[in-house]
Amino acid sequence: MELTIIPKGSGKFEINDPKGRKIYSVTKKRKLMGNPITTLHDASNYALYTMVRTAAGKHPSFQIIFNDAVFLNVQCKSLYVDPSILFEGQGGKYELKGKTSKNLELRTQGQLIGGIVTEEQSNGMPKYQLTIEDKFYDDFIPLFAVAVDKCFSTANK
């Protein structure tokens, strides 16, 4: 599975398939005690998953919520030296890690299953190319690119 995640400003993202069709969108609202809430919607605008920032600063963390329960905890472990993001919880255990924040490998249980490559658009904004083996794909996976944007956006500019 290949997806292109394009930031549309102010916490909004558009997720397209290889043919350029919009299959998901991400919106942001400020709610929970000043922390932004990001919601993943399918093509019919049905809310699938919610991502809430739980800690800001140098190493931000998030929770991905499904059916009002924490599905995955997200932690930005390292920003510059071997940048990495860890996803752990009921939804499994995943790690995005690379030598640079622009080329991250996605692993689960030590097995390489995909990756996220950050490219620069003509307007200078980043664009994320997510690839993942079909048997490991699930609807929450596009939020991994949103986490990359939130953790490494200043490093990727």
Q: How far apart are CA 144 and CA 58, in angstroms?
A: 18
- The whole-number pLDDT of residue 140 equals 94
Q: Is residue 69 part of a domain?
A: yes
Find the domain containing 71 and state its range. 2-152
Q: Kindly report the average pLDDT of the chain as a whole number.
A: 89
Q: Is residue 28 part of a domain?
A: yes
Q: Does residue 38 lie within any of the structural domains?
A: yes
Residue 32: what pLDDT? 56
Is 157 within the bounds of a domain? no
Tell me the one-letter amino acid at 120.
Answer: E
| Separation in Å, CA 15 to CA 43, 123, 124 | 10, 18, 18
pLDDT at 157: 42
Closest to 128 measured CA to CA, from 112, 107, 145, 103: 145
CATH of the domain at 80: 2.40.160.200
Task: Give the tens place of pLDDT for each residue, 72-120.
Answer: 999 998 877 889 999 999 989 999 999 998 999 999 999 999 999 999 8
Region 8-29: mean pLDDT is 90
**Digit-coded pLDDT (tens) for 105-117:** 999 999 999 999 9
Confidence tier at 156 by pLDDT (50, 70, 90): very low
Indicate whether 89 belongs to any domain: yes
Give pTM, 2 decimals.
Answer: 0.90
Reported confidence tier of residue 10, pLDDT bands at 50, 70, 90: confident
What pLDDT shows up at residue 34? 62
pLDDT at position 16 is 95
pLDDT tens digits along 116-152: 999 988 888 899 999 999 999 999 999 999 999 988 8
Nearest CA among 9, 37, 12 for reference residue 25: 12
Flag whether 125 is in a domain.
Answer: yes
DSSP 26-55: EEEEE-GGG-EEEEEEETT--EEEEEEEEE
The domain tally of the chain equals: 1
